[in-house]
A = this chain, B = another copy of it.
């Protein structure tokens, strides 16, 4: 459980008045496990901050689901492709647990970004932090074996293994479920 205000501040410090202003524009909602938040080939109008729960983003390749992102408390579900280029997205975002979201219209957020230096800076830092995370994850895939990637995840985010099905973790780690099971069985 992590409240929206903390999530926002953890990206970059902001005064309370600015945050209050944003919070008034958003709304909270609870959605059930299994619900699909974003469908592929559609436009997404909301950004969601996760207060509790877990979601995964996946796409299809050669008839199989590929889970490329997992989000939990404090993470931000931001459909960058739609937001930046007005393009439809290729991903499905599905809830793996009941979730509490704090949701904001991307339109409202963009308006803040384009009119208020403080929010523009916040938006910049959000993208910069996501970029660093993605780059670190990418580099570790570029030269680590399946077993090394598994060990790294166990070390860095052990709680994932208690909350998320192994088939999704396997995909997230870039291997088949059978390979993950084999690696786990070795110990």
Interface stretch, picked from A17-25, A29-37, A114-122, is A114-122
The 8 Å CB contact of A132, one of B81, B117, B141, B174, is B81
Neighbouring B residues of A153 by C-beta, 8 Å: none
CA distance A145 to B123 in the complex (A): 35
Q: Which residues of A contact B (CB under 8 A)?
A: 59, 61-62, 64, 66, 68, 80-81, 84, 113-117, 120-121, 123-125, 127-132, 134-135, 137-139, 141-144, 171, 174
A120 touches B128 (CB 8 A): no
B68 touches A138 (CB 8 A): yes
CA distance A187 to B64 in the complex (A): 28
Known: A68-B138, A80-B132. A121 touches B114 (CB 8 A): yes
